[in-house]
C-alpha cells in the first residue's frame, strides 16, 4: 500500500443509561507506512469550533493498538485484549481519566488496504460509561471514489 491513504473511522458507543447507540464517522486523508513490523496511520482531525487540527497517530503492533492525539485534545490510548489501560484525556473543557478495556482486536491486512476492528469497554473517572466498537479502514487514496478537497 502506498503512503497517501483515505482513512475511514466508524465508531459506535452504547452509552450507559440510554437506549440509543451513538454513531460517529470520520473520513480523512492520511499517511500510512509499515516499519519494523508495525503499521502506522497518521491523519489530522478538525474539531468543531476550533481552527487548529488534532494530529492522530495510530500504531498497530502484533499485540496492541496505540492511538495518540495531539492538538485541541491530547491523549494516548492503548488497546490490548483482555487488559484495562488507564489514561488521561485532555480537552479544552478539562481532563478526564479514562479506562479502556479491549475485548476484541482484529486486524485484516490486504495488499491494498487494512481493516481494524476493536471492541472495548470505556470508563470515565472510574465509572463505566459505554461499550464501544471502532472500525478503521485504510485504503490507497487513488482507490477512493470521492475527494475531500474543498471546492473554491
- Look up the pTM and report it: 0.88
Whether pLDDT at 145 is above 90: no
Residue 14 is predicted with a pLDDT of 86
Cα–Cα distance for residue pair 76/29, rounded to 1 Å: 21
Question: What CA–CA distances, in Å, run from 105 to 26, 78, 108, 117?
Answer: 20, 12, 10, 6
pLDDT in tens, 25-75: 999 999 999 999 999 999 999 988 899 999 999 999 999 999 999 999 999
Domains (range + CATH), the chain:
4-143 (2.40.128.20)
Look at residue 147 in the predicted model and tell me its pLDDT.
Answer: 52
Contact 148, 27 (CB under 8 A): yes
Amino acid at each position: 500500500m502506498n503512503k497517501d491513504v483515505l482513512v475511514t473511522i466508524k465508531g459506535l458507543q452504547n452509552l450507559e443509561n440510554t437506549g440509543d447507540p451513538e454513531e460517529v464517522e470520520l473520513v480523512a486523508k492520511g499517511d500510512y507506512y509499515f516499519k519494523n513490523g508495525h503499521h502506522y496511520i497518521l491523519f489530522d482531525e478538525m474539531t468543531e469550533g476550533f481552527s487548529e487540527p488534532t494530529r492522530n497517530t495510530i500504531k498497530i503492533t502484533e499485540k496492541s493498538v496505540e492511538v495518540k492525539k495531539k492538538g485541541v485534545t491530547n491523549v494516548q490510548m492503548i488497546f490490548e485484549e483482555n487488559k484495562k489501560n488507564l489514561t488521561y484525556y485532555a480537552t479544552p473543557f478539562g481532563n478526564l481519566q479514562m479506562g479502556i478495556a479491549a475485548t476484541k482486536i482484529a486486524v485484516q491486512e490486504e495488499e491494498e488496504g487494512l481493516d481494524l476492528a476493536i471492541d472495548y469497554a470505556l470508563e470515565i473517572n472510574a465509572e463505566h460509561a459505554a461499550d464501544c466498537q471502532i472500525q478503521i479502514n485504510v485504503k490507497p487514496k487513488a482507490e477512493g471514489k470521492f475527494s475531500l478537497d474543498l471546492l473554491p
